[in-house]
Amino acid sequence: MSGSVLVHGRRLQTNEPVRWELPEETPVSLIYNDIPHAVMLATPRDLEDFARGFSLTEGLVTDVSQIETIRVEPQSTGVSLHIRIPSQHLHCEKLGGRAIEGRSGCGICGVHDLGDLLNPRQTGSPEMGLSVEALARAVREMPDYQPMKRLNRSVHGAAYCQPDGRIVLVREDLGRHNAMDKLAGALHTAAISGDDGFILVTSRISVEIVHKALAMGAPVLVGLSAPSSLAYAVAGKAGLTLMGQDETGQFIVFAEPSANSTP
């Protein structure tokens, strides 16, 4: 699947015909050991990365290496991801009777109670001192790593960056949380540890993005706008450095391990 669909439109002012690559939005069913678990709306690219990352960030496994097989099966109405995990590694309490449906812009799809949401895992990662130059480099170079965004101007990106701002991996999707899941899966495939760099997202930072960054072990999460109040609170509680940008492009540190996260 290409991840985009060519359509034809017209400019309202001039009536000039326009060709546009729209991002593809497809129902993706995640099926664990033959048990349907979730249907997500996602861009149908990098779906094995998506299956790996979703399994990790939603708490179905504690390590991506516990996944035995992934089978991508196109359907007439979408795509099925058949994921096989040995029973001793699958967190079965997350399955069965708790099927979830996620829109491409949805939030806390895999959080089943408030305790999961408000009591995050700790980062376990050392503090990382990042320079303004490193952050500016990552933001400046991000568009070069987003081929889908150049086509359609519609998708989100999630990037893993070195402390000097060099971008290592990027994944794109209509849903910002899907892009994070794909990045998590790609990091595992590339045998890259998430605690050696920082994550940059081309969107606002909501609480589910914080939870997914924590699952990857990232010590720093940077967004291109401000976080939500809940993202701020959870990041502070977890010891995650949380940064955003103001309207002038300057970087704002909202939460960091050495600061009190309580307003």
The CATH number of the domain holding residue 102 is 3.10.20.10
> What pLDDT does residue 126 have?
56
| 108 and 173 housed in the same domain | no
- Is the same domain home to 105 and 137? no
pLDDT at 107: 47
pLDDT at position 255, please? 94
Residue 263 lies in a domain: no
**Are 171 and 208 found together in one domain?**
yes
pLDDT at 121: 64
Number of domains in the chain: 2
Q: Report in angstroms the alpha-carbon separations of 140 from 10, 113, 225.
A: 31, 38, 15
Question: How far, in Å, CA of 229 to CA of 257, rounded?
Answer: 17
Q: Please report whether residue 146 resides in a domain.
A: yes
> What distance in Å separates the CA atoms of residue 112 and residue 94, rounded to the nearest whole number?
8
Co-location of 37 and 71 in the same domain: yes
**Cross-strand pairs, 6:** 21
Establish if 261 belongs to a structural domain.
no
The answer to whether residues 84 and 162 belong to one domain is no
From residue 168, alpha-carbon distances to 19, 66, 186 in Å are: 32, 24, 11
Could you tell me if 250 and 136 lie in one domain? yes
The pLDDT of residue 3: 78
Domain that holds residue 152: 132-255
Residues 153 and 200 in one domain: yes
What does the pLDDT read at residue 261?
42
pTM for the model: 0.88
Neighbouring-strand partners of residue 7? 20
| pLDDT of 2 | 66
Domain finish residue from 118, 141, 176: 118
Catalytic residue among 92, 106, 109, 161: 106
pLDDT in tens, 207-253: 999 999 999 999 999 999 899 999 999 999 999 999 999 999 999 99
pLDDT in tens, 177-202: 999 999 999 999 999 999 999 999 99
Q: Are residues 112 and 139 in the same domain?
A: no
Residues in the chain where the model's pLDDT stays below 70? 1-2, 96-128, 259-263
| Pair (218, 139) in one structural domain | yes
Looking at the structure, tell me whether residues 100 and 136 fall in a common domain: no
State residue 4's pLDDT score: 83
| 19 within a domain of the structure (yes/no) | no
Give whole-number Cα distances, 57 to 49, 137, 171, 174, in Å.
12, 27, 15, 18
161 is catalytic: no
Same domain, 138 and 102: no
> What is the number of alpha carbons within 13 Å of residue 24 lying toward its C-beta?
16
Q: How far apart are CA 32 and CA 251, in angstroms?
A: 41
244: left (phi over 0), alpha (psi -120 to 50) or beta: beta
Domain termination residue (choose one: 118, 146, 172): 118
